[in-house]
Structure 1
Amino acid sequence: MGYAFFRAAGALLGLAAIIAQMARSVQNALASSTDYGSHLPTVIANFLSFFTIQSNVLAVVTLAIGAVWAWTKGRDEDTEPRWFAILLACTTTYMLVTGVVYNTLLRNVELPQGVTVPWSNEVLHVVIPLVLLVDLFFAPKRRALPWRAVWIIVAYPIVWVLYTLVRANLIIAPATGNAWWYPYPFLDPNGPGGFGSVVVYVIAIAVGIIVFGFFVIWAGRWRHERVKAEFATM
């Protein structure tokens, strides 16, 4: 039961960080002197198109569901439901990938002053990934998933990449006025390396997602077996 409060606190912190960053993005749009920079529907859609934001929204929802389940039906259940185990595995994988990609590829990317909210940025890219990592190894009643569940985990990132690459050339970048908008520089074929570089990064991240997905499934299976072993010796 006490762990439900940890999940609830993580959900609230993540929600606050998302709202703070979204408010800053809207504020910057309202202060823009150009039509494309002040077009709120595009600014908001761009904000919600970041993998980081989508993953953190999913994390907020998942942690909130986990807390509510622990306070209600979880009282009488020995193991979390299968649907929630899959949701949690997906969320944990995406947040771990978010944390690793940001801290290895994006942390030193310079952005215009005032674009990000510093504390929110750290919460979304560091704190919430750590919350999900802690959850993976310490949350009670973990269910073991079959190894094939990894293909469910990788489905959403594939759809997100396709969505991003198709949408990019339909959007005028609010900050620069470019006739394209990519959420991350390593996905932009207009930069150094062109499409070849983009393909390399996409493949590398896809492999990373599969590796992290297997890691998350392994951790869940390991935790489940440990609980079974403990009960067997009682």
Structure 2
Amino acid sequence: MHWSWFRIVAAITGFSGVVAGFIVNVDRAARQGHGLDEVLANYFSLFTIISTLLAVVTLLVAASWGMRHAGTGREPLGIALALAAVTGPVLLLGLVYNALLRGLPAPVALGDSVGIAMLDSYAAEVLHVVLPIYFLLDLLLAPHRRGLPWWSLAVLVGYPLGWTAYTMVRGERVGNPDGTTAWWYPYPFLDPHGTGGYPSALLYIGAILAGFLAIGTAIIVIGRYRERRAMRHGAPAARGALPV
């Protein structure tokens, strides 16, 4: 089976998780009397949702290239960078969710119907378990993966830093849909109005950046190792010098 089909299935699955979460948020907004436009603007500002949508587009583009260039060599640098740039966030989301957040109660889920609760659970599992597992397998097993130059580490952390800057600026300019505060941050540890204020939020941001640097480094090391190994075995996908 051509690996591109795995990428297509993963993209469809990831998108279904985003749709499931969309339905859940629309239902909760209607039941709780929150403004739908505010709720959806917040939903599509979540790191999980943005990262998943970027991952879906990247997987489809990579799959399309793979279908048209089966067995012709390494994937283009642009596709390799895009795959690496979405792999880091997806893997970190999976690690954080399963290590720290799994099993915690969700107060906003009170009053959900059985169907909505199932959709919510489905979205959480797809976005934080299924998709991270797939991206790990893609990193380790997908053919034609290209070894990335070390300067690409700046690209891999650029998106998370951009999202963080956007979130910290936006957080002060939008109110909580439930009307309790004049600000809204998607994750409590980024909220400078909480315990610890800005020093605490900046400490978490620093820890997150360190996590992305570590994961980005691992992604580059694995890609370069796989390409060197392919070159030693004379694989056609490894033609061309390994980038510095």
Q: Same fold (TM over 0.5)?
A: yes
Aligned to 1:22: 22
Aligned to 2:132: 129
What CA deviation, in whole Å up to 9, does each residue of 1:53-103 have, x standing for no partner?
A: 11111111111112211111x225211001000001101111111112222
Aligned to 2:49: 53
RMSD: 1.6
C-alpha distance in 2, partners of 1:224/1:175? 51
- Paired residue secondary structure (1:49): coil
Matched letter for residue 233 of structure 2: E
For the structure 1 residues 110 and 189, does the alpha-carbon distance in structure 2 shift closer, same or farther, using more than 3 Å as the test? Answer: farther
Aligned to 1:172: 175
- Paired residue secondary structure (2:134): helix
Summarize the alignment of residues 140-151 of structure 1 with structure 2, pairs less than 5 Å apart. 140-151=143-154
Aligned to 2:240: none
Matched letter for residue 140 of structure 1: P
C-alpha distance in 2, partners of 1:138/1:104? 25
Gaps of 5+ in 2: 236-244
Matched letter for residue 178 of structure 1: T
2:46·2:186 contact (CA, 8 Å) conserved in 1? yes
Aligned to 2:207: 204
4+ runs deviating over 6 angstroms: none
Does residue 101 (structure 1) correspond to residue 72 (structure 2)? The answer is no
Aligned to 1:7: 7
Q: Percent identity?
A: 41
Once the two structures are TM-superposed, the CA of residue 164 in structure 1 deviates from its matched residue by: 0.6
Once the two structures are TM-superposed, the CA of residue 107 in structure 1 deviates from its matched residue by: 2.8
- Paired residue secondary structure (1:170): coil
Q: TM-score, normalised by structure 2?
A: 0.88
What CA deviation, in whole Å up to 9, does each residue of 1:16-40 have, x standing for no partner?
A: 110010111112112233xxx1x22
Does residue 81 (structure 1) correspond to residue 84 (structure 2)? The answer is no
Q: How many residues align?
A: 227
C-alpha distance in 2, partners of 1:135/1:50? 24
C-alpha distance in 2, partners of 1:17/1:175? 24
